[in-house]
Amino acid sequence: MIDLTYLNIISFFLIFFIGLPHGSFDGAVASLIGFKTKYQFTKFVIYYLILFCFVVIFWVNFPIVSLIIFLLMTIVHFGLCDWSFYNVNKNKIPITLAHGMSVIFGIIYFNEEEAFKIFEYLTNNNIYLFKNYIFIAYIITLVLIIYFIYLSLYEKKIRQGIFEILALLIIFYLFDPILSFAIYFCFFHSYKHLKQLITNIYLHIQNKKFVIISTILFTLISWIGSFVVILYLAQNINLYESFLRVIFIGLAALTLPHMFLVDFLYRKKF
């Protein structure tokens, strides 16, 4: 059993109060891609909730499969955000995978024991069998980073990515997996996502009041819902495990509709 430490608390609060609100702009994203009327926006919210509930139910019944799918979705989502941030139209797959895999497997590589302990908490299963094969992911990640460096010789726009990946790997080496994830999620991924999104909101949405109200409302709902579930879970498990389950299973449940909205609809239009 692992107790809640001060660094854990800082990490969880960063994710709750900085990381989660970036997804609360999904109401504005929905408006940008065409869910403009009250009826259309209500349909969007219903679809969003259905996908959210589906992921939670699926995770409860198939935790190991869900964890693997979540890691893969996170790699793709983080990587696509980085690729689009460079504003290049080619080498989408290698750039996406280089960034996404360097984040996920960089954190795991430098914090392997702690990372697999977290995975065990999230799945209620002994998943250490996968640890015997994780080296394959490390090798693929290293090859992709080397290829990314090679691409940067011919594409100036992505050269800053070399320094970013290096900086992230140093962060992952210095800090535990929860704080490493929080730093990337809050100060790298959320920044890039919001920088692009706010520009398009300013240019294409006239009703700025709607953007503010919907974002605040979605943020409050996510905060209140998270703390209610944490208090409920804390009756049977410790606070550390309660926070872990709410944050990462909750993020998985939010990532699926968020990816559909941002990566498959929003990025096509903008």
- Burial (CB count within 10 angstroms: exposed 0-12, middle 13-18, buried 19+), residue 268: exposed
Burial 188-214 (b: 16+ CB within 10 A, else e): bbbebbeebbeeebeeeeeeeeebeeb
In single-letter form, the type of residue at position 75 comes to I
Amino acid 2: pLDDT: 61
Average pLDDT, the chain: 91
**Percent helix / strand / coil, the chain, rounded to 5:** 85, 0, 15
- 238-267 pLDDT, tens digit per residue, is 888 898 999 999 999 999 999 999 988 888
pLDDT at 203: 83
Distance in angstroms (rounded) separating the CA atoms of residues 102 and 140: 10
Per-residue pLDDT tens over the stretch 128-138: 778 889 999 99
**What is the chain's pLDDT, residue by residue, as a tens digit (270 residues)?**
566 788 888 999 999 888 887 888 898 899 888 888 889 999 999 999 999 999 999 999 999 999 999 999 999 999 999 998 998 888 999 999 999 999 999 999 999 999 999 999 899 877 877 888 999 999 999 999 999 999 999 999 999 999 999 999 999 999 999 999 999 999 999 888 888 888 888 888 888 888 889 899 999 999 999 999 999 988 888 888 898 999 999 999 999 999 999 988 888 887
Condensed to tens digits (0 to 9), the pLDDT of residues 57-86 reads: 999 999 999 999 999 999 999 999 999 899
Q: Positive or negative, the Cα torsion across 29, 31, 35, 39?
A: positive
Are the beta carbons of 25 and 197 closer than 8 angstroms?
A: yes
- 255: CB partners within 8 A, 6+ apart: 70, 73, 74, 77
pTM for the complete prediction? 0.91
Q: How far is CA 34 from CA 29, 54, 81, 84, 143, in A?
A: 9, 24, 21, 21, 40
Count Cα atoms within 13 angstroms, Cβ side, for 4: 14
Looking at residue 106, what is its pLDDT? 97
Q: What pLDDT does 3 receive?
A: 66
